[in-house]
Structure 1
Amino acid sequence: MNKEERQKNGKMQKTFQKKLILYNMLVIICIASAVSFYNYRSYCQDVIISETNNSANRVRTLSERLQVAYDEMVNIVLNCAERKSLFFATTLDSPNKPYNTSMAVYASDVLRDFCAISGYSRYINKIVLYHNGLVLQAGNSFGASMDVENIMKAPWFSSLLYRENAQYTLSLEDNPFKSGKGRSTVSKLLPLLRPLQYSARNKPEESWVFLGIAPTLFSDTLKSLPSDVLVYAVTEGGDIIASTDREQEFDTSPIISSLLASKEQEGNYQMKLHHENCVITYTKQPVSGLLFFEIRPESRMQLDHGVIRRTVLIIFFFCIAIGLTLSLLISRQLGAPISRLTKRLELISKGDFEPDHSIETDDEIGMIGRQINQMSGRISNLLETRVESEKEKKDLEIKMLQAQINPHFLYNTLDSIKWIATMQKNSGIVSVVTALSSLLKNMAKGFNEKVTLRQELDFLQNYVIIEKIRYIELFDIDIIVDQEELYDARIIKLTLQPIVENAIFSGIEPSGRTGLITIRVWVKAGVLHISVTDNGIGISPENIEKLLTDTSRITRSNMSGIGLPNVDRRFKLVYGEDYGLTIESVVDQYTTITITLPLEF
């Protein structure tokens, strides 16, 4: 192997190895990317689930804390509405008795104690007991003479007073008390209103207890939450009591409507707000009707992007390193047997066909090696056969060159006989010798040569001259050509002579009577038709099929040595299977052999 071939072989191996490594790396990169993306998504999902659980716990804890405060407020209202107090013992049982001032002062102290007992007393804006003109007040804002009238004029007074005993739904309402020094400074209250149960003789609007919860109860509770969370406290009517969303980042109206309409008391779901994915967790209090929910944007979740990037990069490059190592190992394992195959093919191209069993391994490449060894063996056999054939062909050509001496000697001899007969004025011998000489010359020029129809008919005429002298005018021949230009149509030489010969020997001669051979030429649909009809003994139907299939029916008396099966086969080989001979015959009447050929000029 010279230097150039070694370089070429090395380039082929490098190209194969590079392609193999490249394809493997593409696969590994795809796998590494998929694994990295999966880990990234899994990490993000884990963080979202963790943040969702934290948010749910936060909202649930907030709800439980405010539920305790709400329960204490309701208990204060129920104690005032259902328990008979000592300071009301005389006035309620005997309204006509004079008002006891000291007893009223004592009752006010008891009412303040009710508020003081609660851990959420600072959020009781005002508690008012009213019974048939008698008013007792406590709370964090001073009372006024118009407080009872303002409460009774509030739009929510009737609906809260006359609702069922088990209903304690909170609503955010306008503060009915005037603001001023020592009075309430809040604009909204969450009112609780119940009729006094121990004053059955009075109408509800004449005997009731009112407790106003300050919204600061909710806002102060929300202050204990982390600063980056967005939590909302909402009434059953959809009014926001308090929230940590001081900048009003989101439009919560559709969220509130959806959550209030939900039949679930708590849950979470994801939605897109302001083109950002957010997680919403919520819980609802069944008695108060309060709704607490938190909006947690993904951008505020504890996603450590640095950790994510480092993890993804480590996984990615780790996969690449493994893939590159495996690619190099695989390429080396495949490169060695392929190199052996390449060297073996180079030896075959130089003529070394000896088998190399080292390339026949037990894998797919070994199968290729076995096929290469088998191929080299076949090539060796073919070359040996080719050499023998060429040697035989050369021997045959020598013999054919030697055989050409005999026809030339025969032509010269016939020519001498012709001139002797001419000098002796024997016209019969002259015509026969002339015809035979012409026949031999035409046959010696080539067997598959194409000639015009006119030349074929001239050649046939020479044959007919000889046969007529032989059989003493036993037959006549009639030639009919439909169109003059058909004389220039080209057909294979010796097309008509074997068929006419068959008509003479197999049809007319056995009949023992003078016969007529008719040759007709015509064209139909671009196909040349030539029919040869004799009025001899005919052919039986069972022999017609054998006549075109039995190639052994050749007698030594035949001038050309060509039988009808050979003529038919020769046409099919030259023109195709759609062309050739067809035979039609009636015993003791006629036989017609029709030749079909493509029309050529």
Structure 2
Amino acid sequence: MGKWKKHFARYSLKHKLIIAFSCFIILPFFLIGWLISWLYVDSNRTMMMEAAVDSNEQIVSSLNGALDPLIRLSMYPVMDQTILNILLKDYGEVEHPLYERQNDFEQVNEMIQNSIMLYSELIDNVVIVDTNKRIVIGRSSLEYMDFHYLQDEFFDEPFVRRITEEKGKHVFIGVHQDLLQSSQAAPVVSVGRAIVDPQSRQTLGMILINVNVEKLNAMSSEVSFTENTRFYLIDENDRVIYSENEEEIGAKAGTILGKETESLHYRDEQKALSSGDTYLISSNSELTGWLAVTVIPKNEMFSFVYVIAAILFIGLFVFLLLSIATAVYLATTITKPLSRLEKRMRRVAAGNMDVAFDDMEAGEIGQISKTVDYMLKQLRELIHEIVNKEEEKRRLEMVALQTQIKPHFMYNTLNVIKWMAKIQGAAGIEEALGAFSSVIKFTTKAEQNEVSIQEEVEFIRNYTKILSFRYFGRFEVAYDIDSEVLQYKTLKFLLQPLVENAVFHGFDEIDYMGHLHIRIYKEADTIYMVVSDNGRGISGADTMSRCIEGQESAIPLNSIGIKNIRKRIELHYGEEYGLSYRSAGEQGTEAVIRIPAVPSEQAGKEV
């Protein structure tokens, strides 16, 4: 005992409280929960088994109620003197035997239709035969009859011999094929009775009432314990009379339900038999000698009970968890301030600088928390100041890059107007100045780094119009602008340096009509701006590389503008976007700008 005391003393106060609470709460919870669950499951299991047995007995009762009227109907030929006279008649002594026989046949048929068929919906067909003459004297169905079977096999059938041996008692016949009046040899059950002369006690004939096994389907609808519950009706020869699976009808019940069913006929009261994963609940019919068997899967029969038990157990388990949580809460009340401080310091060490310490408890821990919180606030302000400075630096750098293009652009524009004034005099200057006014308006938007693609295209239209005046229409411009892209944003002056290079370099000193093609389209989440011409092109991979990088080169390209485009795109959108050139020597040049598709606040109109 002393060893256990020493071992227990090593635990913290928190662990000691949890252990003590567990001894007084957790163990009783488990004991009570197990006892309640066992009592509930056991009582409900017994109740459901009794309900299943009662339901099966009710099916047998319904079967007896449906077949009992057939016994009384089978008595009709025995009590009818007309039929007895027909069976006793010797047609060899009458003047017209064929006519007499046909007349008697119609008379018996009328009796069958009016006195037997109308009184039960279960009856499939009825036949009355003369066992001595081996002829049919009446039948309900006139559509089909196998006369070869009647003459060669029918009277030798075991059920026919059994009927005649009973000397006028009713006989229930289990499942067999109706080979006499059914072209499909449908499976039927039958009620038969021998017709005996009350004077001589001689057997004159027999009546056979057939019931199609499909008409017994209504009785199985009362079985609804579980989704996979199955119902079987088994005859006196241990053959299946009824099953939802038509292929099982007529088969031996032992091959379907197991050998245990062979003993079910020899008991006096209904009971439930456990067979593998199922329960076999059976009831004998004293009227027919048949057996009603309900097969219920074990896992489904008590599934609802087990669900309720599981819910009960979960409820107890939840209460148990709440009890443990209460113990933990009481145990951690004293150590809570230190625990909270330690956890928050771990978050700070992991890089989370937004942790607050000003809500801690009073006392020494509270003072330490306030000091740490003050240090974190100072550190956050310093980081915020550095971030703002870097962001302002980046903005100023982009503004500087953007303004690099303006002096060069203004110079070229004014030079164009100067040449027009010198060569043309006053003609065309009004139109050129109108285009130039639009260009100036676009370029003087203060500090606005982004515009809609529609505005950028409109600017290029005016700019190329001014260039066209200078070159006297020596080049033409084609626009292929996808209307969908007009609603997206772009950086200002992305296209102007590319158009300038195409006109000033590509179309300079060419002796053919220049073609400038500006295409803008969208693929996935990327906007593509393509400026292509049929000018002189750029020869040599090294020259192309130096032009794209914005280095000095021997050719008169606007390398500052090209470098400006690349830098602005990289700063604004990231390194995955940018500018690329493709040139095939003297066959022209193609410049491609890739930027992300960013929707504009104002939807564009079709260009």
| TM-score of the superposed pair, with normalisation by structure 2 | 0.43
| TM-score of the superposed pair, with normalisation by structure 1 | 0.44
- Of structures 1 and 2, the larger Rg is shown by 1
